[in-house]
Amino acid sequence: MPRMTAARAAVEILKLEGVEVAFGVPGAAINPFYAALKAAGGIGHTLARHVEGASHMAEGYTRARAGNIGVCVGTSGPAGTDMITGLYSAIADSVPILCITGQAPVARLHKEDFQAVDIASIAGPVTKAATTVLEAAQVPGVFQQAFHLMRSGRPGPVLIDLPIDVQLTEIDFDPEAYQSLPVYKPAANRVQIEKAVALLQRSERPLIVAGGGVINADAAELLREFAELTGVPVVPTLMGWGVIPDDHALNAGLVGLQTSHRYGNETFLASDFVLGIGNRWANRHTGGLDVYTAGRTFVHVDVEPTQLGRIFAPDLGIASDAGAALELFVEVARELRDAGTLKDRTAWAAAAQERRARLQRRTHFDDVPLKPQRVYEEMNRAFGPETRYVTTIGLSQIAGAQLLHVYRPRHWINCGQAGPLGWTIPAALGVATADPGGQVVALSGDYDFQFMIEELAVGAQHRIPYVHVLVNNSYLGLIRQAQRAFDIDYQVNLEFENVNAPELGVYGVDHVKVVEGLGCKAIRVTEPEGLLPAFEEAKKLAAEFRVPVVVEAILERVTNISMAAADIDKVNEFEELATLPEHAPTAIRPLVP
């Protein structure tokens, strides 16, 4: 039996499980693992500037491609606690990432050793498993189990904590004899699907709500086939955006309090049956449940049995992987089609598209400073269907989801439930690492951008190009808008007069200089006519210099973005709506007044 250190065995297992790159920060307690990483070869490494940044890079890497599992590595103590936000973000959005931390020697774990912390206990609530390995011989089994857990059922993150003496201990391990554990995913049966389709057949105005579980299952093509067979319009959730192209005749638009379309909410409110697949009925999608559920029959399919009934009780709940369920849905629908018994949904689908052509928000404004809507209009012109958008939270993300277009799975990469500021830059670096030849475009407000701005240096060092659209109003815009309910505007202003850049007025931080100081490229835009040329130039600069390129758009200080406080039938449209086709020139459907 070959002998090697436990750290080397861990690295060999990573390779056997398909890991090709890791993101991390070395340190004393994890250096044996790094030594094994270097000696073994075969796994690239991206050096982050902050360990939280490494965890978000791992998230972005996982989210970009089916089958990817991002790995982040850090030393002990604060490195582990820095990763907690990434773990929380990953478990909330069902994203498998593996965090590996160093630890003090086993004999010193409870003696307040330098940078020794019980990271397994801290990480437990935000992981599928968090383990401090006390015996070196257990390392292979713990790593084997980690990949099994990350891939099985509802995907999610795992943390493995390795004391330094455990890493250094030699063990018997033969990589040639290693075998991955079989992945477990619940699968629907024929009877369940037939009952679900029977409920759909009895309805008059059905909808499919497709969540991130469809993307996790790599089942977007099955989803589209089922929708096309039955003629049922599809509402993607924010995490499921891209399962059906935005320009598809059965795309009914997004629904919700914030990241929604006017026509999407109206079509949902007109429906009488909802088939939810791989979604979790998030509160910003549903709003108040009385309005959301009234007069509708619900079928819910989810890979996690405890999700069924968690928010409200469906009329039929099915515990199943989305892909396994959709295979049966397609099978049953084909049989009904061949028998000529599928209901004709043409009129209902056409009504959804009629709303789409009529109920639109205005994007074309010529104001200076810029209105944010114009930024997204020009982004639609500059960035095509191949673009992968990356964003986290804020008015920038909400308006982007309302106005941008997404055509493919994994092309809207959004931190959905956790929404930590600072997520966007490192996540975009992870996405661009996973898709080095793709068009990656990040979207941030100024506060999100400033939270982890140091990670831009990672893109410069490792030559990771992407375009970052920074919409700057020098405000905590979403919090300011929420404070309207309290009649305050308190501690949300970011403006100041920069003594080194008086030309900025009150916009404060000179992002162009900071970005350039970190080794990247930046363009500032102050007028609408400059947006499209800036985006085109950014694409060229990213390709030429192979670094992140930031396009900063100087916005008007205050814009209230469309949203509701409680119910999806009461969305407040603060801005002038589109009434003529030229008001929304990049809309998917030309506006019909």
Secondary structure, 3-state, 146-204:
HHHHHHCCCCCCEEEEEEHHHHHCEEECCHHHCCCCCCCCCCCCHHHHHHHHHHHHHCC
Q: What whole-number distance in Å separates Cα of residue 199 and Cα of residue 475?
A: 48
Cross-strand partners of 99:
72, 159
Residue 19 shares a structural domain with residue 166: yes
Confidence of residue 593 (pLDDT cuts 50, 70, 90): confident
Mark whether 25 is an active-site residue: yes
pTM over 0.85: yes
- Average pLDDT rounded to a whole number, residues 352-377: 97
Determine which one of 11, 14, 19, 25 is catalytic. 25
Residue 344 shares a structural domain with residue 486: no
Cross-strand partners of 469:
443, 551
254 found inside a domain: yes
Residue 351 shares a structural domain with residue 456: no
Residue 171 shares a structural domain with residue 147: yes
What are the tokens at 334? 């084909």
| Distance from chain centroid for Cα 336 | 36
Q: 448: domain CATH number? A: 3.40.50.970
Residue 51 shares a structural domain with residue 166: yes
Residue 239 makes CB contacts below 8 A (sequence gap 6+) with 93, 211, 212, 215, 279, 414, 416
524 found inside a domain: yes
Confidence of residue 1 (pLDDT cuts 50, 70, 90): confident
Q: Which DSSP letter does residue 468 get? A: E
- Average pLDDT rounded to a whole number, residues 22-45: 97
Q: What whole-number distance in Å separates Cα of residue 177 and Cα of residue 570?
A: 60
542 found inside a domain: yes
pLDDT digits (tens, 9 = 90+) for 53-100: 999 999 999 999 999 999 999 999 999 999 999 999 999 999 999 999
Residue 412 shares a structural domain with residue 263: no
Residue 398 shares a structural domain with residue 327: no
Please, is 567 exposed, middle or buried when counting C-beta atoms within 10 Å of its C-beta (0-12, 13-18, 19+)?
middle
Domain C-terminal end among 146, 177, 208: 177
Mark whether 421 is an active-site residue: yes
546 found inside a domain: yes
Residue 331 shares a structural domain with residue 388: no
Q: 280: domain CATH number? A: 3.40.50.1220
List the one residue out of 409, 447, 394, 448 whose CA is nearest residue 425: 448
What are the tokens at 362? 């205005």
On the question of pLDDT at 522 being above 90, the answer is: yes
Residue 208 shares a structural domain with residue 160: no
Backbone torsions φ then ψ of 472, nearest 5 degrees: -115, 110
Length of the chain: 593
Determine which one of 30, 51, 119, 274 is catalytic. 51
Residue 527 shares a structural domain with residue 409: yes
Domain C-terminal end among 142, 177, 212: 177
Domain C-terminal end among 313, 329, 359: 359
Determine which one of 117, 166, 421, 515 is catalytic. 421
573 found inside a domain: no
262 found inside a domain: yes
What are the tokens at 123? 């990480």
Query: H or E segment at 317?
Result: strand 316-319
Q: Which DSSP letter does residue 39 get? A: H
On the question of pLDDT at 111 being above 90, the answer is: no
- Average pLDDT rounded to a whole number, residues 459-476: 97
Query: H or E segment at 478?
Result: helix 477-483
Residue 301 shares a structural domain with residue 405: no
Q: 3-class SS at 111?
A: coil
Residue 579 makes CB contacts below 8 A (sequence gap 6+) with 591, 593
Mark whether 476 is an active-site residue: yes
422 found inside a domain: yes
On the question of pLDDT at 495 being above 90, the answer is: yes
Mark whether 301 is an active-site residue: no
Determine which one of 13, 476, 478, 494 is catalytic. 476
Residue 160 shares a structural domain with residue 210: no
- Average pLDDT rounded to a whole number, residues 409-437: 95
Mark whether 440 is an active-site residue: no
For the chain, the domain total comes to: 3
Confidence of residue 108 (pLDDT cuts 50, 70, 90): confident
Determine which one of 291, 316, 479, 532 is catalytic. 479
Range(s) of the domain holding residue 141: 3-177
CA distances (Å), 88 to each of 95, 284, 572, in order? Answer: 10, 18, 31
Q: What whole-number distance in Å separates Cα of residue 219 and Cα of residue 234?
A: 14
Report whether 59 contacts 70 (CB < 8 A).
Answer: yes
591 found inside a domain: no
pLDDT digits (tens, 9 = 90+) for 171-184: 999 999 999 999 99
List the one residue out of 404, 398, 552, 393 whose CA is nearest residue 470: 552
Give me Rg for the CA atoms of the chain: 25
